[in-house]
């Protein structure tokens, strides 16, 4: 893998960015990814400001490589979070779930690189206009929040190709070195990987959730809760209730009431596989074991290189 | 593009199979694709047996290259269709929408190659056990019918990789040479392309439908009518009614009543963009003009080769 624009921009060895996932991506995961040569990300979305600051301090102590944070722009105490990010000189901020037009220039004034997560071309162009340094294009198969268009990673990359001057990172469904190669073939210069790292040893997710990911098979996730935003859920008894409400045409208020508060923490962090909300990407069906981040990196890279060699030797070069 | 197993099996120059789409793929489209070096397909799903036979006769007259037919295994007069296929010595049959266990051996006894379309690993393995010569793996982004799992092409290919001994063809979301290259990177040995050819000059679809495809943009299709099977529809007034019924939790009977009879013909063949059913893949948003098949092939191939060269030169080879 050559040093492309994403590697140069983020000062990383491999163009692999870890997704900033709620309840999974604390300092242990982020520092492990950065120590493996990718960009580790502390996921601020599920952290109170003081917890977030603690993770930043620990992450900096655990790696001398660059790392970043994921900041949903709908975060209630966003100004406090921004203060913490500036104080600790975090080199990269990945923004999502909101408009980057207000905050991008603030971060950039302080020398912070900004990438914004989008699920369609329209917001990719808006984000570029807002001055972001790169776009993360996230397809329908991803865990976490998705666009109403339901555009898959394969289609989304084709729609974005040639339309942007900033570098593009592919997200959603990346579970192997071959998928990384496919993303590069489609013009991306990097990948963001969530689910593989959610199930890693260093993920802060509960072991029961990680085991559930390993045991899951095809069709075990569906984009759910669409009337209140959309999130990809693993099947469990809570999912069944969501599904029933979907099939009976429930109102947004009914979905909010069913969801209640703290379900994501209950499922992913506390390991309640019955009543908790279990967010994960479609690629969960491909994950076979809970492994250290370093092992995941080794396989991704060797798979990428052997697939590339295969493709290029077939090309007659 | 080297002669891989799909090219050898189907005796074609390029591993590009045209999707057998209702109301779009008559003898003109099939023969144009075969004459361009791919595998043209007469789509039997929307044809009465005598119409189907006429298309086969005309297709054979218009090309000396191999071509095939797509036969949904739920087709009411399937035995009559099989008789016609055998009578005209069609070299390839692509089966879909049903179990291949009954018919595969019958076709193969007559020297016909059989590929079966699947949307999950479970049916891919079953189809291989039934003796098919290849598997077409079709993702969520495809037009036409889809699996309940909603697995995208990118994820589906990763789930199938290494699990099959027969060659694999990627379908759904393939709208460019780069996407072909991505499919090859993911281990496929060919692609099935539907939407691009549905909008081609030689497609038998109504010009108004082709223009609507060209004008469509991201988010203009959604997998719809799930309670009665699922099909990807372009937004129009009929779609809005479907959507309303979905959001209000309609029963399968209500969906059947709303759909009625002949809506796909009305929309795609007769060009009623208001009340007709318009089936197309997500990649429709990427299609910019109505072009001859030969032009589509030229661009696919040149894009594929230049992307491959780019990828391989970056690899330092």
In a 13 Å sphere around the CA of B106, the CA atoms on its Cβ side amount to 13
In a domain, B129, yes or no: yes
Residue B211 is assigned to a structural domain of this protein:
no
- Count how many domains chain B has: 2
What pLDDT is attached to residue A97?
83
The tokens for A213 are 């990911």
Q: Do A152 and B150 touch (CB under 8 A)?
A: no
Chain B positions touching A311 (Cβ under 8 A) are 181, 184-185, 308, 311-312
Q: Which residue has the higher pLDDT, B28 or A2?
A: B28
Q: Nearest CA of chain B to the CA of A311: how many Å?
A: 7
Residue A144's pLDDT is: 78
Same domain, A127 and A268: no
Residues in chain A closer than 8 A to B172 (CB atoms): 154
Question: What's the whole-number average pLDDT of chain B?
Answer: 95
pLDDT in tens, A170-187: 999 999 999 999 999 999
pLDDT of residue B2: 61
Q: If DSSP states are collapsed to H, E and C, what string results for chain B?
A: CCCCHHHHHHCCCCCEEECCCCCCCCHHHHHHHHHCCCEEEEEHHHCCHHHHHHHHHHHHHHCCCCEEEEEECCCCCHHHHHHHHHHCCCCEEEEECCCCCCCHHHHHHCCCEEEEEECCHHHHHHHHHCCCCEEEEECCCCCCECCCCCCCHHHHHHHHCCCCCCCEEEECCCCCHHHHHHHHHCCCCEEEECHHHHCCCCCCCCHHHHHHHHHCCCCCEEEECHHHCCEEEECCHHHHHHHHHHHCCCCHHHHHHHHCCCHHHHHHHCCCCCCCCCECCHHHHHCCCCCCHHHHHHHHHHHHHHHHHHHHHHCCC
Nearest CB to A185: which of B150, B178, B282?
A: B178
CB contact under 8 A, A316 and B2: yes
* Chain B residue nearest residue A286, CA to CA: B159
Q: Residue A11 domain-assigned?
A: yes
Minimum distance, in Å, between the CA of residue A285 and any CA atom of chain B: 8
Round to whole Å and give the CA distance between A223 and A247: 13
Q: What is the pLDDT of residues B137-166, one digit of tens each?
A: 999 999 977 789 999 999 999 999 999 999
Minimal C-alpha gap between B138 and chain A (Å):
13
A280 and A136 co-located in one domain: no
**CA–CA dist A216, A203 (Å, integer):** 18
My answer on whether B160 and B38 are in the same domain is yes
Q: Which residues of chain B make contact with A287, given a CB cutoff of 8 A?
A: none
pLDDT number for residue A317: 42
Residue B185 has its nearest CB partner, among A151, A159, A307, at: A307
| pLDDT, tens digit (0-9, with 9 covering 90-100), for B190-232 | 999 999 999 999 999 999 999 999 999 999 999 999 999 899 9
pTM exceeds 0.90: yes
Which residues of chain A are modeled with pLDDT < 50? Answer: 316-317
CATH number of the domain where residue A111 is located: 3.20.20.70
What average pLDDT does the segment B268-273 reach? Answer: 97
Q: Are residues B188 and B230 in the same domain?
A: no
Residues B157, B223 within the same domain: no
Find the helix or strand (DSSP H, E) in which A92 lies: strand A92-96
- For B155, which residue in chain A has the nearest alpha carbon? A173
Strand B40-43 versus strand B67-72 pairing type = parallel
- Phi, psi torsion values for B111, nearest 5 degrees: 75, 15
Please report whether residue A188 resides in a domain: yes
**What's A233's DSSP letter?**
E
**Burial class of residue A38 in the structure, from the number of CB atoms within 10 Å of its CB (0-12 exposed, 13-18 middle, 19+ buried):** buried
Residue B265 lies in a domain: yes
* Residue A317 lies inside a defined structural domain of this protein: no
Residues of A in contact with B161 (CB under 8 A): 176, 178
Name the residue range of residue B229's domain: 216-283
| Minimal Cβ distance to B249: which of A121, A181, A248 | A248
Asked if the model's pLDDT at residue B172 lies above 60, the reply is: yes
In a domain, A134, yes or no: yes
Task: Assess whether B55 and B188 both reside in one domain.
Answer: yes
Query: Is the same domain home to B44 and B170?
Result: yes
Asked whether the predicted pLDDT for residue B3 surpasses 80, the reply is no
pLDDT digits (tens, 9 = 90+) for B8-20: 999 999 999 999 9
pLDDT of residue A3: 73
Whether B49 and B64 map to the same domain: the answer is yes
In this structure, are B293 and B277 located in the same domain?
Answer: no
* Residue A13 to residue A34: CA distance in whole angstroms: 9
- Do B274 and B190 sit in the same domain of this protein? no
Interface touch B179/A158, C-beta < 8 Å: yes
Compute the count of residue pairs across chains A and B with CB atoms less than 8 Å apart: 175
Tokens encoding A263? 């379900």
Measured CA to CA, the distance from residue A161 to residue B126 in angstroms comes to 37
Bridge partners for A118 per DSSP: A137
3-state secondary structure of A75: coil
**Cα R_g (chain A), whole angstroms:** 18
Mark yes or no for CB contact A315/B307 under 8 Å: no
C-alpha B73, offset from chain centre? 15
Which pLDDT value is given to residue B313? 87
The answer to whether B199 and B234 have CB atoms below 8 angstroms apart is no
Structure confidence by residue, pLDDT tens digits, B77-136: 999 999 999 999 999 999 998 889 889 999 999 999 999 999 999 999 999 999 999 999
Answer yes or no: do B95 and B160 share one domain: yes
Chain A residues with CB under 8 Å of B140 CB are 140-141, 150, 152
Q: Would residue B310 count as lying in a domain?
A: no
Each residue of A194-219: pLDDT tens digit? 999 999 999 999 999 999 999 999 99
Q: Tell me: the pLDDT tens digits for B54-76?
A: 999 999 999 999 999 999 998 99
Strand (E) or helix (H) holding A27: helix A27-35
């Amino acid at each position: 893998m050559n040093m492309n624009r994403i590697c140069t921009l983020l000062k990383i060895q491999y163009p692999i960015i870890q997704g900033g996932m709620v309840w999974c991506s604390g300092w242990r995961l982020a520092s492990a990814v950065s120590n493996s040569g990718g960009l580790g990300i502390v996921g601020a979305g599920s952290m109170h400001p003081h917890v977030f600051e603690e993770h930043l301090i620990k992450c900096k102590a655990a790696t001398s490589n660059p790392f970043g944070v994921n900041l949903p722009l709908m975060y209630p105490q966003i100004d406090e979070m921004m203060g913490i990010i500036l104080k600790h000189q975090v080199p990269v901020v990945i923004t999502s779930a909101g408009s980057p037009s207000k905050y991008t220039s603030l971060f950039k004034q302080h020398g912070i690189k900004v990438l914004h997560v989008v699920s369609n071309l329209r917001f990719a162009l808006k984000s570029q206009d807002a001055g972001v340094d790169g776009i993360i294009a996230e397809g329908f198969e991803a865990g976490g929040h998705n666009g109403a268009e339901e555009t898959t990673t394969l289609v989304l990359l084709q729609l974005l190709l040639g339309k942007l001057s900033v570098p593009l990172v592919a997200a959603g469904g990346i579970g192997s070195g071959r998928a990384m190669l496919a993303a590069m073939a489609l013009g991306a210069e990097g990948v963001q990987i969530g689910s593989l790292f959610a199930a890693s040893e260093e993920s802060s997710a509960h072991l029961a959730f990680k085991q559930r990911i390993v045991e899951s098979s095809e069709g075990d996730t569906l984009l759910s809760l669409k009337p209140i935003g959309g999130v990809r859920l693993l099947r469990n008894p809570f999912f069944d209730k969501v599904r029933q409400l979907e099939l009976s045409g429930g109102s947004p208020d009914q979905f909010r009431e069913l969801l209640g508060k703290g379900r994501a923490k209950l499922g992913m962090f506390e390991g309640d596989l019955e009543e908790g909300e279990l967010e994960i990407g479609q690629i969960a069906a491909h994950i076979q074991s809970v492994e250290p981040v370093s092992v995941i990196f080794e396989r991704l890279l060797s798979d990428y290189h052997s697939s590339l060699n295969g493709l290029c030797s077939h090309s007659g070069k």
